[in-house]
Structure 1
């Protein structure tokens, strides 16, 4: 018993616990191989405790179930160091606002060599690690094809943010601007929207929505796209190609095409103040124009105009020939 008490006392001193009272219930055992057991008669390690290990008065303890409970009114933390120096290389600390922080090291899941602040590996596949030393997050999905990051929300109202990826820039450490990609909830069975936000100044913290993908529709500068691509503003492009879903108007040049007499064209214009088949100014202002159909309609009118000019040229040529013949007859009569 004396030997057991001395061993227990040495153990308590090693833990740095300077208690005024040492109570030994009689279950501290020693073995022939120098191991010490508390709560066990067959210690298999230098110190083998069969039960909880508690310290202080706050309820901190180690449990045989594999749990570590750190409790206290201050900021409980665990330090890790690769040397015997007083400082630490990494620290896990619980702040008083229920925030758990890791400082001094990169954190790896599935890897012992995280290159980013947070590295998550399913498998370490690939060798190109350029830029990872200064990155915040690195995900390596190995040979699997679905490396999804899933953010799920239930019961969100229309246009409420389900999840977001935000980018902040602070040039003066006081103000900041934000660009963001936000997933927005929608109503009923309508698909959720993906909205893109950008800032126009260094102090515009929330940014302005500039583009939205809603189902199979994209809206630029509008939250309500009513076509595959809706742009509330100018479009500047080097080239625009439009596919036709109706025939081009070359049928105008077919022999059986019936060209409307000019007298009827004149009458229609006088009554309606626009060409036939062409929408009126009021209709175009209210409904806009379909670029493909309008271009084909204008081409049709140009082709019809060409036919009118050809016909008029034939008349003019015939009249010119008749005039020349009359001139010749008049000259012969004068002689």
Structure 2
């Protein structure tokens, strides 16, 4: 019996529920596997049910989930549920084990957060398995997921979790604010120090001018349409900008050499 009383008192204490120091007032039926009903500080009032199998609850004798905590206030969705551990079926072939946190005693602005998973299908079919965080306010027609992790590809979505992110591991709706971004360069050929090698094939200025007049952008630089469709690779674009700066430096040095030669020729003719 003592092994049952201690967790009851501890849970009540942690949840701020008046079950502390109260011994079980009755056993529903004799027998080791029967549920235990305990009473609160109010004489003769039983509020807690603990069972070795089935549903257990604090503040309720009729829990609706494997473990549920209620408080005597609130009259909106899920009424006075403060905390609920459940494994509900949302549709055929799919269940959603979750932990729900609620401000169940706030009747004017009832809301709750859910931390859980969406489990469906099987390994062979590669059906989606998702870890998620969702929220529902008093005026929201349905729960809205704000965070999810895809089990097969490991893709993380923050914001609109229905956005397709094929080819990417992280999607953040409306962008991010950060003080630092570091992009790894895995291949030395992706950095363009080789532009300064003697055998680098620098495009002649006349050919560059012709290319720009035909295409409307620099060689190797993506077009506006390509950027709108595929986005911008920060590492690749920074490396490409470095390449263009280095090529511009070579053109400048080339023009300076031609200018110096022209000045020297003019000086000799004087």
| TM-score tier (shorter) | 0.5 to 0.7
Q: Which runs of no fewer than 5 residues in structure 1 stay unpaired?
A: 1-60, 70-76, 94-98, 105-116, 118-135, 138-148, 330-335
Shift of 1:205: 7.2
| Structure 1 residues 167 and 204: CA distance shift in structure 2, 3 A | farther
| Structure 1 residues 323 and 178: CA distance shift in structure 2, 3 A | farther
Residue 162 of structure 1 is aligned with which of 84, 90, 96?
Answer: 96
2:89–2:95: 8 Å Cα contact kept in structure 1? no
Residue 155 of structure 2 is aligned with which of 217, 239, 243?
Answer: 217
3-state SS in 2 of match to 1:212: strand
3-state SS in 1 of match to 2:213: helix
Q: Which has the larger radius of gyration?
A: 1
1:166–1:178: 8 Å Cα contact kept in structure 2? yes
2:156–2:170: 8 Å Cα contact kept in structure 1? yes
TM-score, L = length of structure 1: 0.51
Residue 173 of structure 2 is aligned with which of 214, 225, 232?
Answer: 232
Per-residue deviation, residues 67-88 of structure 1 (Å, max 9, x unmatched): 899xxxxxxx97779xxxx935
Question: How many equivalent residue pairs?
Answer: 208
| Structure 1 residues 320 and 185: CA distance shift in structure 2, 3 A | same
Residue 247 of structure 2 is aligned with which of 298, 301, 304?
Answer: 304
Residue 272 of structure 1 is aligned with which of 215, 223, 228?
Answer: 215
TM-score, L = length of structure 2: 0.61
Provide the alpha-carbon RMSD of the alignment: 4.2
Counterpart in the other structure of 2:257: 314
3-state SS in 2 of match to 1:182: strand
1:183–1:194: 8 Å Cα contact kept in structure 2? yes
Take 1:78 and 1:210, find their aligned partners in 2: how far apart are those partners? 38
Matched, 1:241 2:182: yes
Take 1:79 and 1:281, find their aligned partners in 2: how far apart are those partners? 69
Taking CA–CA contacts closer than 8 Å with sequence separation of 6 or more, which of the two structures ends up with the larger relative contact order?
A: 2
Shift of 1:238: 0.7
Matched, 1:87 2:43: yes
Matched, 1:189 2:126: yes
Take 2:89 and 2:215, find their aligned partners in 1: how far apart are those partners? 57
Shift of 1:152: 9.3
Shift of 1:153: 7.2
Take 1:298 and 1:212, find their aligned partners in 2: how far apart are those partners? 35
